[in-house]
Chain A
Amino acid sequence: MRFFLEGLAEAWDIVWAHEPWLVQLVVVTLKVAFISTGVALLIGLPLGLALGLGRFRGRGVLMTLANAGLGLPPVIVGLVFALLMFPQAPLGRFHLLFTLNGVLVAQTALALPIVVALTASAVRGVAPGLLAQARAYRARRWRVCVLALREARVGIMAATIAAVGSGLSEVGAVVLVGGNIDGLDQTLASAALQRIEAARFAEGLAIGIVLLGLILVITAALTVLQAGGGATRRVGRSS
């Protein structure tokens, strides 16, 4: 216990000192979390919308695949992308292996099924009849899509929170694709792993404190946004 408390005190000193390497880790981690989530939202929202609204053959299979994607093992994703990014492999010409861009690609692949599956579920849960009613008033297709996204915003915020959370705490894919290179593509979570393996526990704990703090602050902010989006002001009686 004493060992742990001493380590914690030392970790706190590191955090308090705003060590440049720690700041660099925070910057890389935020980049990975937000850029991958942004790209996943750009690609995933239309796909989730299509899965949630569309009536086409194979939708059930695609929905199952998207849901299965929620449980994708990051190590396997990292391994597959690392192999694909080898110089002779299909993605080799893009020189992504052991770069931050490579990490972003792998993390986007992990965040995408989260966005697609949760968006599709949220859209399917929109008030029965509302979207049909919009079509019955001859609403243009883009208006129906905007309406569906707006009505499903609580679920879409949940997808965003989950995708950002995955980006903040991801290790397996980052290490395998990025190589966990200090000062280049190392994130807080992958750096913590490296420090603990090197028996630098105080630094590992300091990184852990910062990472948990980031996760708390960011998810709290997103949760506030989510609550605002889903709030319905109740006035008067409801019978």
Chain B
Amino acid sequence: MSVLEVRGLQVRRGRRQVVHDVDLTLARGEVVAVLGPNGAGKSTLVEAVGGLLPSQGAVRIEGRAATVLQTPGLARRTARANVELALAWWGVPRRERRARAMAALDLMRAAHLAGRQAGSLSGGEARRVHLARGVAVAPDLLLLDEPFAGLDPESHAALSEDATSALRATGGGVLVVLHDRADAWAMADRVAVLVDGRLVADAAPDRLLAAPPTAEVARFLGYDGCLVDASGSTLTRAPHVRLVPAGEPGLLEGAVARVVRLQDGARVEVATAAGTVWALVDATDPGGLPRVGARVGVRVSGGVRFPPSV
């Protein structure tokens, strides 16, 4: 049973149309991630669904919705009191607030912060308390706008892991705007891609990655290689490409254009006659990391095909 049904949603900011004709449904217990480039209208979409912005179209919510905004605005009181405050806003009776606040902080692995003043919390801790407010009110539909924005990679990874289980524990539907694709894959049952205010894809993460509906979506999802032939284009991601020694007959060959060092290897860009591809090279490879300008063979397995117009 769907907890959210959006039909033909349109949002204008001043003279600019930011969201165009968006249709979206979300079932109870489902987590849907909204991804898209900067300025695509993701936050606007969530705020409009949450009723915080005027919009046109139909938004039907089965029950009550709460929106966790991007900025973790905390009141000058303890972490627990901040969660209790959200419960008061939500209309929860006073006698239930303390227990629910502590349970939510516990789910967010922030119970040890309960007595700390908001001003003394680090960025990651403040975000945990911010998310605990959303978990505590446990709405039928929880809307979140970039809940991990501005965190260092370590805090980000820890928080996204804990948030995933905590958000599912609310039992309601969750619509979450994310910036990082990896978070969407870790958290969501479905991924909706918004480009220029238009919903251009909506599918389960693995299905979407395996078969992006358009080249634009494919590029956004990390398909950064493009090989062109007479019948169309093949877009590739690094896992589709393997570098082998040059000289094998019938093998696509090219020159190494760029080597971007990673912790355990490198991303290597190879320019071929058919186009450019990126490959991952392990630092422990017997041949070592290739040098810029070196000739290499390129073996492609996978990728997605699009017609010539791409």
Contacts and interface: CB of A to CB of B under 8 A. Distances in A.
Interface stretch (B113-121, B212-220, B228-236): B113-121
A232 interface: yes
Interface string A20-49: 000000000000000000000000000000
Contact of B75 (A135, A151, A239): A151
B200 interface: no
A234 B119 contact: yes
A137 interface: yes
A128 B70 CA distance: 11
Interface string A222-239: 000000001011111111
A239 B122 contact: yes
A129 interface: yes
Contacts of B88: 139, 143
Interface string B109-141: 000000111111110000000000100010000
B34 to A, nearest CB: 17
Contacts of B118: 232
Interface stretch (B60-68, B185-193, B286-294): B60-68
B252 interface: no
Contacts of B70: 129
Given A130-B73, A136-B66, A238 B122 contact: yes
A132 interface: yes
A137 B64 CA distance: 10
A234 B70 CA distance: 25
Interface string A65-87: 00000000000000000000000
A130 B75 contact: yes
A133 B67 CA distance: 8
Interface in A203-232: 230, 232
B120 A236 contact: yes
Contact of A132 (B73, B74, B119, B121): B73
Nearest to A135: B52
B69 A143 contact: no
A136 B52 contact: yes
A127 B120 contact: no
A236 B66 contact: no
Contacts of B121: 238
A134 interface: yes
Contact of B120 (A134, A135, A140, A232): A232
B90 interface: yes
A131 interface: yes
B299 interface: no
A236 B73 CA distance: 21
A127 B71 CA distance: 10
A56 B91 CA distance: 28
Contacts of B76: 127, 151, 230, 232
B73 A133 contact: yes
A126 to B, nearest CB: 8
B148 to A, nearest CB: 16
A138 interface: yes
Contact of A138 (B68, B69, B90): B90
A236 B91 CA distance: 32
A128 B73 contact: yes
B208 interface: no
B69 A136 contact: yes
Given A127-B74, A131-B73, A136 B115 contact: no
A69 to B, nearest CB: 28
Interface string B41-53: 0000000001010
21 contacts: A127-B73, A127-B74, A127-B76, A129-B71, A129-B72, A130-B73, A132-B69, A134-B89, A136-B50, A136-B52, A136-B66, A136-B68, A137-B66, A138-B90, A138-B91, A139-B88, A140-B89, A232-B76, A235-B117, A238-B120, A238-B121
10 A-B pairs closest in CB distance: A129-B73, A129-B71, A130-B73, A139-B89, A136-B67, A137-B89, A232-B119, A239-B122, A232-B117, A234-B120
Given A235-B115, A235-B120, 13 more contacts: A127-B75, A132-B69, A133-B68, A133-B69, A133-B86, A136-B50, A137-B89, A138-B66, A139-B90, A143-B89, A150-B75, A232-B118, A238-B121
Interface of A: 127-140, 143, 147, 150-151, 230, 232-239
